[in-house]
Every structure is written in C-alpha cells, then in structure tokens.
C-alpha cells in the first residue's frame, strides 16, 4: 500500500493527445530516466527543500518554514523562475494529492471525460499510489465510464506490471532508442526493461500505443527505424506506432542546441515503417512553425 | 446636416460595398435623420454615455429586430398574398421557401431565420431518393449563400435523427459556406448519440453546427415552440424579438463603489433605464410604425403580434467582475478565479431577478428575456456577453465549468465560443465528449471553433478568414457580414482569440 499520497507535478482536465477521447491527465513528479532531450525536465527530480528557488521567486509565492519549501498557489504568477533555478530538476510547485483529492476532481469533470491517463515524470515510480487510485476509481460507479491509461517509459519489472495491469485499460509506452549504447547515452539507463515491457504489454493486450521520439542523427537513423519495425512486427499486426518529432522547446542542457526533427524526415520514417508492414503509424497532427 | 451628407456620400462612394449593401446603409442613415423615439432625460443621458445601448437599431423602429415566421403555414396553405399554391413536391416546397424568405423583414434586411428545415421538408421527401435529396439540398444551400449572403441567417435542424438533417450536415461540411448558419437542436432522449457525434464531427470540419440544448430551451417556450436564430438567440416561433437593448456592465461597475453598491444600487438603476429605453422603442414599433397593420404575414398567420419578446442584453461581464475585484483589492480574474467567477454568477442571478420585475407592454408574457449579448464590431475594451476575454481563456473543460452557472439565467440565449486547437482533429471523440458533458450539465448551447478552419465565428456569425484578407485588401466581399468581421478583427482583436476565432458581432445599425 502507498501512504495514499502522490507528488503531482500538474494535472489537466482537457487533453486530446494522451489517449483516446478527452482525458484527465495526472503528471506525477519524478523520473528514473535522465533523458537529455526531455521537454519537461522539471518533472524529473524530487525536491530536496534546498531553498534555492525561494530567493528567485519574484511574487513571494515561495517561502521556507523550518525545513520545508512551501508554495502558495494563490500568489504564484506562474513565471517558472523557480524551475530555471532548481539544481535538481525538481519543482517546488509540486502538490501532494491523495487518492480522494483526485477522485474529487474526476467526479467534478466526469461528464467531460473519456478517461484518465497517468503520466509523468514516470508514472510507475509511484506504483502503489497508481494501484490505490485505479482501485478506487473502479469501485466508483459514477466513474465507471472512464478508461484508465498509463503513459510510461517501461522501466518497470514484470512483477510490477502484473500488480497494476488488471486495473489498466491500456499503456502508452515510450521506447527511447534500440541501440543499447545510444539508449544509455540519451537516457542514462539501459533499455532491457523497457523492451521487455513492450513484449509483456503486447502479449496481454494492454499495449495501446508504442511511441518513438525521432531525434536527428540519433533515433532517425536507418538502423533504429529498422529495429523499431522489427519490434512492432514481433509484437503483432495490431501494434499502433506513434512517431514524435524532437523539438527544443523546454529542453535544458546540450540537447537544447540540437536541431529539431524535420517534417520530411519524420514522414520518410513513417513511409518506411508502413512499407515494413506496420499498419498504423501515427504522425504529429500539428507542426509548429 | 453637412456631416450627414458627407456620411451619405462616403457610403455612396465606398468602393468595397455592393449596390445592395449601399442601399441598406443609406436606408439606415435616412431612418436616423428622423427624431429619436421619445425618451425621458435620464434615459437619454444613459444612452448618450452608452451605459445602455440600443444596438444602433435606428431612430424609428419600423420593423421587429428578429422575425421568426412559422414557415409551416405557407407550406401547408400556400399564400394568397403571394399567389402561391400549396406545394406538393420537394422542389415546390423548396421553391416556396425561397420565395418566402424575400418577404421576411429583419434588422439586417435579410431573414435571420429560414426554418426548422428538416421538419419542414421531411413530409415532401417520400419517394425522393437519397441521391436526389442530396443534390436538391446542395442547390438549396448554394442558393441561400449566394442570394442571401448574411451570416446572421440561421437554419435549425433536429431534434430527431432524420435523413434531411443528415443530408444537410453532409452538404454543410462539404460546402463550408458562411450562410446559412446552422443549429442542431439536441435532445438526448430523441436525437441519439450518433447524431451528436455527427454534429461534433461537422464542427471539426467547418465549425458548424451550433448545438442547442433542446430540453432546456423547450421548457421556456409554449407552443408552437422556439427557434435559434441569428447569433444564437432563442426566441418564440411565429413571433421573434421586437427589440434588443443592452447594458454595458463594465460601465455600471465603473460607476460603483463596491460589489454591494453595484448589485443593490447601480445595477437596478441601469436595468430600469434600459427597460425604459426598450419600452419607448416597443411603443413606437407597436403603436406608431404600422408594421402589424395590414401585414400579410400577420393576416396569413406566419407571425403573431403577441409572440414577440424583447431581448434584454448585457455585455462586458468579464470587465465588470475584474473591476469589482480591483475595488475589493483581490487579484483573481474572471474565468480563472473561483471568487471572481462567483461574483459573475451573483450578477447574472441579480439581473434575471431585476429583468423579471420590469413589466413591458406588447411583449410576449409581459417581460423581456435576458440575453448575453455577443457584441458589436465597434465595441472596444469589452468582452461579449459573459464570455472570458479573448486570449485568456482556460482549457475548454475549465471554460465550460466557469460559465455553466450563468446559463440558467439567459433565457433568450448565451453563446460561448470554445476554441479548440488543431490537435483535436486527430481525436474527434474528445470533441464529442466535451459537447456531451457540457449539454448534460445544462449548458444552453455548445459552440466551438477548431483552429485551422477557414470558416470561423466572429462572435455569433460565421466568416471566412480568406474573405477578411480579401476585404482588407480592399477588394470587397459578396458576403454582408465580412465587413463586420473585418471591423471586429481590427477593433476588438477577435482574431487574437486564442487559436482561432472571432467573437464580435455586428456593425452599428445593421444586425444582431
């Protein structure tokens, strides 16, 4: 059992890009990957209450009480100065939410929702909370129409998945790279768990979508696309792929200077994947200028 | 007189107006050379400072603002005055309607309502193949847009799921025309979710139709019911609205010292002054203009003199609430802050009560109907109706939740335009769920624009962005409302409205 509380970076009552229909999205704080290309790096770390952010807050929304950094949302002007100053890629605006807090929000917005997607950070890092939350939703008749999805990097052992999958309608799984060295370089972690998760989820029919971020010169290389096609074929003809394009937006560190993924390159990859027999390859519906 | 003459000359010589558009503008100017209907000094002063506003309807109201004929009468009986026999076939029925439209007055000079088209045409469709129906509706639709090119012109369909409604939705998505504007009257008990999904898919294609909450509207009106017309006004069928005057809530707030002063002193005062303005205009229309005397529309039963309401409009709720928040030293803004939103809800509740206690002669049921007015293209620094200011709207779900408590009070219409970003194209289920949720919770009407559509709403009417560009390049437009959209785009920055659209309404003297 969890202590019934999660660290929540943010929640949305309207999202059309996190699964089928309109989804309530809960972004949990903290990640076990250290992706250099992360576009939400402030969701990676967990606050150590060091107080660096308090000094840069222009509105007085952040303060220190004894050992803790405290955030007052009523005063916050959402300038994100604290995020830029944080040495641990954490976020002092993270709120602690109980299962009941989330249920209240879901009930209030239920008529507008097709489902809930728990994302991150890495959602499965707070697996006990996830299980408690999904169990409570399944027990609530007024929320019976909601489908429950997890957006994950797949860095969870089989035993972990087994605890939550019976409660879960689908998982959107990110594969960051196929080449082992490249994966370590891009994420700081091995990809064996992630690939095993893809196979497990497909086997039990819970893999809603396999997602792959195309990064120029890295994951758009022919050998990466070929490996993606091979995995998708292995997982079965119903496998749905979604290609995303690397953008600099939000990225910190050296990768902020990397070129963004061009549209023609992404579409060429989609063509190659379809030619390799993958029936459903989704590409971005909107391209930023 | 010199100024009037030069204004007339500017209209006569305007290279961007067609001759018909000039004739209409010249007629408006001519009416305004007459003395204004008789007002007491206090009402006159409030009008001059535009705390209350007559929508520039004209000095001498000689026709009702909106006329909603019961077209079933002419389809059932033909017309003696127009020497029309009773139609027997679908072609004859459509032809009869096309003729009828030319005899329906309104403030725009074009009809704002062209009928509950599926209910009107279904009886003529027996034996008509799907393909024939499609081709005839397509010709009809093209006729409407080319001959009556005004975006305030409004067709209603629903609440049943039927082949005429489906064909109209198919043609509308295919042609993507400005006219007619279109509302589906949705009743979950009758329409079915498949029909709602068809409507939301059409919204993704062309930002139409508007979806009205039929059970909520139906209980407001008696037989023979109501229609949604013009910029989403709900009005009695076989009647309409005699007049519309509105209160600028921002200016009322600026005259107040606190929320209590606003609610208890200033608002009652200006509601009363606006009611006096409306009474004076109603008196002229009903007792002096002669509109209803010897009018074949009345004699043949297309309209009934006793079924015209008066619309009591308000606008700039957002600015009023924010000003009251400033007076109280609170930072929360309308649309985003629970306390600010609650002030807005209290204002709407108070308005409904005040308007219900301002009796008016001549009008349907003896009192005006409250209306969240969608703006004039010349408004600056104010937000239409109870809407959240352009560019600062929260996400669509929070947006609906923030405005929901207002809706019960605005019996003659409250339109909000939700802007959906382009990503919803890949996820139409989300738009369906949003509409379903909003209607289920009691939203009176659901209206959305999808970013990237050429056809967008300016306040309540439709324009094509490509027409605005052409108009601004001084090439003119064959569509009446483009000029309003262009003016609104420049004056009110409606195109800044987040991803998409416009939210303003009309040109002084011409329309909604």
Token pair, residue B341, equals: 């939103």
Would you list which residues of chain A are within 8 Å, Cβ to Cβ, of chain B?
12-14, 16-17, 20-23, 108-114, 282, 285-286
Query: Which of A21, A109, A285 is the closest to B429 by Cβ?
Result: A21
Please compute the mean of the pLDDT values over residues A118-123 and round it to a whole number. Answer: 95
Q: Architecture of A5-43+94-282 per CATH?
A: Alpha-Beta Barrel (3.20)
B131: which residues sit within 8 A by CB, 6+ positions away? none
Every domain of chain A with CATH number 3.30.70.20 lies at: 52-85
Quick check: B427 contacting A, CB < 8 Å?
Answer: yes
Q: Is the pLDDT of residue B498 over 50?
A: no
Residue B487's pLDDT is: 60
Taking contacts as CB-CB distances below 8 angstroms, the residues of chain B near A21 are 427, 429-430, 432-433
Reported as a pLDDT band with limits 50, 70 and 90, residue B489 is low
Q: Where are the beta strands (DSSP E) in B254-342?
A: 308-315
Rounded to whole angstroms, the Cα distance separating B446 from B434 reads 9
Q: Is the pLDDT of residue B416 over 90?
A: no
Out of A98-112, A130-144, B146-160, which region has the weakest mean confidence (pLDDT)? B146-160
Residues A232-286 pLDDT 10s: 999 998 899 999 999 888 888 999 999 999 999 999 999 999 999 998 999 987 7
CA distance A136 to chain B (A): 22
| Percent residues over pLDDT 70 in chain B | 88
Least Cα distance to B57 among B18, B23, B31, B24 occurs for B31
Taking contacts as CB-CB distances below 8 angstroms, the residues of chain B near A12 are 395
Q: Is the pLDDT of residue A219 over 60?
A: yes
Evaluated on CA atoms B103, B107, B110, B115, the torsion sign reads negative
Residue B190's pLDDT is: 97
Rg (CA), chain B: 22
Taking contacts as CB-CB distances below 8 angstroms, the residues of chain A near B426 are 16-17, 282, 285
Out of A43-47, A216-220, B250-254, which region has the weakest mean confidence (pLDDT)? A43-47
Taking contacts as CB-CB distances below 8 angstroms, the residues of chain B near A114 are 429-430, 433
Contact B386, B344 (CB under 8 A): yes
Q: Is the pLDDT of residue B459 over 60?
A: no
Per DSSP, the three-state class of B220 is: coil
Rounded to whole angstroms, the Cα distance separating A164 from A124 reads 9
Rounded to whole angstroms, the Cα distance separating B363 from B382 reads 29
Contact B350, B263 (CB under 8 A): yes
Q: Is the pLDDT of residue B270 over 70?
A: yes
Decide if A112 and B424 are in contact by the 8 Å CB cutoff: no
Residue B496's pLDDT is: 44
Out of A30-44, B78-92, B294-308, B450-464, which region has the weakest mean confidence (pLDDT)? B450-464
Please compute the mean of the pLDDT values over residues B381-397 and round it to a whole number. Answer: 90
Among chain B residues, the shortest Cα distance to A111 is held by B437
Per DSSP, the three-state class of B280 is: helix
Rounded to whole angstroms, the Cα distance separating B303 from B239 reads 5
Please compute the mean of the pLDDT values over residues A191-204 and round it to a whole number. Answer: 98
Kind and range of the H or E run holding B322: helix B317-327
DSSP for B334-384 reads: TTT-HHHHHHHHHHHHHHHHHHHTSB-SSSGGGB-EEEE---BTT--S--S
Residues B188-227 pLDDT 10s: 999 999 999 999 999 999 989 999 999 999 999 999 999 9
Decide if A17 and B423 are in contact by the 8 Å CB cutoff: yes
CA distance B331 to chain A (A): 9
Residue A195's pLDDT is: 98
Query: Which of B430, B437, B441 is the closest to A16 by Cβ?
Result: B430
Residue B501's pLDDT is: 24
Residue B505's pLDDT is: 28
Decide if A113 and B433 are in contact by the 8 Å CB cutoff: yes
B459: which residues sit within 8 A by CB, 6+ positions away? B231, B374, B375, B384, B417, B488, B494, B502, B503, B504, B505, B506
Please compute the mean of the pLDDT values over residues B251-279 and round it to a whole number. Answer: 98
Mean pLDDT in chain B? Answer: 89
Least Cα distance to B279 among B495, B38, B11 occurs for B38
Residue B187's pLDDT is: 98
Reported as a pLDDT band with limits 50, 70 and 90, residue B362 is very high
Angle at A123 between CA A118 and CA A127, to 5 degrees: 110
Quick check: B434 contacting A, CB < 8 Å?
Answer: yes
Rounded to whole angstroms, the Cα distance separating A237 from B405 reads 48
The domain A52-85: what is its CATH number? 3.30.70.20
Residue B425's pLDDT is: 87
Q: Which of A16, A143, A284 to probe the B interface (max B CBs under 10 A)?
A: A16
Rounded to whole angstroms, the Cα distance separating B370 from B383 reads 17
A32: which residues sit within 8 A by CB, 6+ positions away? A122, A125, A153, A155, A189
Residues A48-80 pLDDT 10s: 899 999 999 998 999 988 888 999 887 888 888
Reported as a pLDDT band with limits 50, 70 and 90, residue B3 is confident
Residue B474's pLDDT is: 57
Q: Is the pLDDT of residue B488 over 60?
A: no
Query: Which of B396, B429, B440 is the closest to A111 by Cβ?
Result: B440
Least Cα distance to B390 among B303, B500, B511 occurs for B500
Among chain A residues, the shortest Cα distance to B398 is held by A13
For A255, other C-beta atoms within 10 Å of its C-beta total: 18
> ipTM of the assembly?
0.88
Residue A177's pLDDT is: 98
Q: Is the pLDDT of residue B504 over 70?
A: no
Length of chain A: 289
DSSP code, position A217? T
Taking contacts as CB-CB distances below 8 angstroms, the residues of chain B near A110 are 437
Taking contacts as CB-CB distances below 8 angstroms, the residues of chain A near B438 are 111-112
Residue B460's pLDDT is: 47
Q: Is the pLDDT of residue A223 over 60?
A: yes
Residue B380's pLDDT is: 84
| Percent residues over pLDDT 70 in chain A | 99
Q: Which of B418, B426, B427, B446 to probe the A interface (max A CBs under 10 A)?
A: B427
Out of A125-129, A216-220, B330-334, B377-381, which region has the weakest mean confidence (pLDDT)? B377-381
Q: Is the pLDDT of residue B443 over 90?
A: yes
CA distance B170 to chain A (A): 23
Residue A20's pLDDT is: 94
Taking contacts as CB-CB distances below 8 angstroms, the residues of chain A near B400 are 112
Kind and range of the H or E run holding B90: helix B90-101
Every domain of chain A with CATH number 3.20.20.70 lies at: 5-43+94-282
Between B101 and B495, name the one with better pLDDT.
Answer: B101
Residues A29-45 pLDDT 10s: 999 999 999 988 999 99
């Amino acid at each position: 059992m969890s202590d019934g509380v999660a660290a929540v970076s943010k929640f949305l009552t309207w999202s059309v890009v996190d699964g089928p229909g309109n989804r309530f999205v809960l972004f949990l704080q903290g990640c076990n990957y250290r992706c250099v290309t992360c576009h939400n790096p402030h969701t990676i770390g967990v606050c150590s209450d060091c107080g660096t952010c308090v000094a840069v807050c222009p509105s007085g929304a952040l303060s220190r009480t004894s050992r803790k950094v405290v955030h007052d949302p009523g005063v916050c002007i959402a300038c994100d100065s604290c995020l830029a100053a944080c040495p641990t890629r954490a976020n002092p605006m993270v709120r602690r939410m109980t299962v009941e807090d989330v249920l209240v929000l879901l009930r209030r917005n239920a008529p507008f929702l097709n489902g809930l997607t728990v994302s991150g950070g890495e959602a499965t890092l707070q697996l006990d909370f996830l299980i408690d939350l999904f169990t409570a939703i399944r027990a609530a008749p007024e929320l019976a129409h909601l489908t429950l999805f997890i957006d994950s990097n797949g860095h969870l052992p089989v035993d972990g998945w087994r605890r939550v999958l019976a409660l879960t309608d689908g998982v959107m799984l990110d594969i960051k790279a196929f080449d082992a060295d490249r994966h370590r370089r891009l994420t700081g972690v091995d990809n064996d768990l992630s690939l095993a998760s893809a196979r497990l989820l497909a086997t039990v029919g819970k893999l809603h979508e396999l997602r792959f971020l195309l990064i120029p010169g890295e994951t758009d290389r022919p050998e990466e696309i070929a490996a993606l096609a091979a995995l998708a074929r292995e997982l079965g003809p119903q496998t749905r792929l979604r290609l995303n394009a690397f953008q600099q937006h939000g990225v910190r560190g050296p990768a902020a200077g990397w070129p963004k993924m061009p549209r023609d390159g992404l579409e060429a990859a989609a063509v190659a994947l379809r030619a390799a027999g993958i029936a459903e390859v989704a590409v971005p519906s909107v391209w930023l200028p | 007189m010199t100024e009037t003459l030069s204004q007339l000359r500017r209209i006569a010589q305007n290279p961007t107006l067609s001759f018909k558009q000039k004739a209409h503008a010249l007629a408006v100017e001519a009416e305004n050379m007459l003395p204004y209907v008789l007002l007491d000094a206090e009402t006159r002063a409030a009008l001059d400072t535009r705390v209350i506003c007559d929508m520039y309807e004209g000095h001498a109201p000689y026709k009702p603002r909106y006329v909603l004929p019961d077209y079933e009468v002419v389809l059932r009986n033909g017309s003696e005055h127009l020497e029309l026999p009773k139609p027997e076939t679908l072609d004859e029925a459509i032809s009869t309607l096309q003729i009828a439209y030319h005899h329906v007055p309104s403030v725009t000079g074009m009809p704002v309502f062209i009928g509950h088209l599926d209910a009107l045409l279904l009886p003529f469709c027996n034996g008509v193949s799907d393909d024939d129906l499609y081709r005839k509706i397509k010709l009809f639709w093209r006729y409407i847009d080319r001959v009556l090119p005004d975006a305030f012109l409004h067709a209603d369909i629903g609440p049943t799921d039927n082949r005429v409604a489906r064909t109209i939705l198919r043609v509308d998505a295919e042609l993507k025309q400005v006219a007619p504007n279109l509302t589906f009257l949705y009743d979950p008990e009758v329409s079915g979710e498949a029909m709602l999904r068809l409507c939301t898919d059409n919204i993704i294609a062309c930002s139409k139709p508007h979806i009205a909450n039929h059970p909520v509207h139906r209980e407001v009106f008696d037989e023979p019911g109501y229609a949604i017309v013009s910029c989403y006004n709900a009005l009695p069928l076989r009647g309409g609205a005699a007049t519309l005057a509105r209160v600028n809530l921002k200016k009322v707030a600026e005259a107040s010292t606190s929320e209590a002063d606003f609610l208890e002193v200033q608002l009652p005062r200006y509601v009363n002054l606006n009611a006096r303005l409306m009474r004076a205009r109603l008196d002229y229309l009903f007792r002096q203009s002669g509109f209803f005397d010897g009018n074949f529309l009345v004699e043949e039963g297309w309209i009934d003199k006793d079924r015209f309401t008066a619309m009591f409009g308000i606008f700039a709720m957002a600015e009023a609430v924010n000003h009251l928040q400033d007076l109280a030293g609170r930072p929360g803004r309308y649309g985003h802050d629970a306390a600010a939103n609650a002030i807005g809800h209290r204002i709407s509740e108070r308005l409904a009560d005040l308007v219900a206690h301002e009796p008016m002669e001549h009008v349907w049921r003896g009192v005006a109907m409250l209306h969240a007015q969608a703006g004039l293209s010349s408004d600056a620094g104010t937000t239409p109706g109870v809407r959240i200011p352009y560019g600062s709207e929260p996400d669509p779900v929070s947006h609906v939740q923030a405005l929901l408590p207002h809706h019960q009070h605005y019996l003659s219409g409250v339109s909000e335009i939700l802007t959906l970003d382009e990503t919803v194209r890949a996820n139409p289920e989300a738009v369906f769920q949003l509409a379903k949720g909003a209607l289920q919770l009691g939203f009176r009407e659901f209206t959305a624009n999808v970013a990237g559509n050429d056809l967008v709403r300016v306040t309540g009417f439709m324009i094509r962005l490509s027409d605005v560009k052409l108009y601004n390049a001084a090439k003119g437009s064959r569509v009446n409302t483009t000029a309003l959209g262009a003016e609104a785009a420049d004056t009110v920055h409606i195109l800044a409205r987040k991803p998409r659209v416009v939210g303003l309404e009309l040109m002084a003297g011409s329309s909604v």
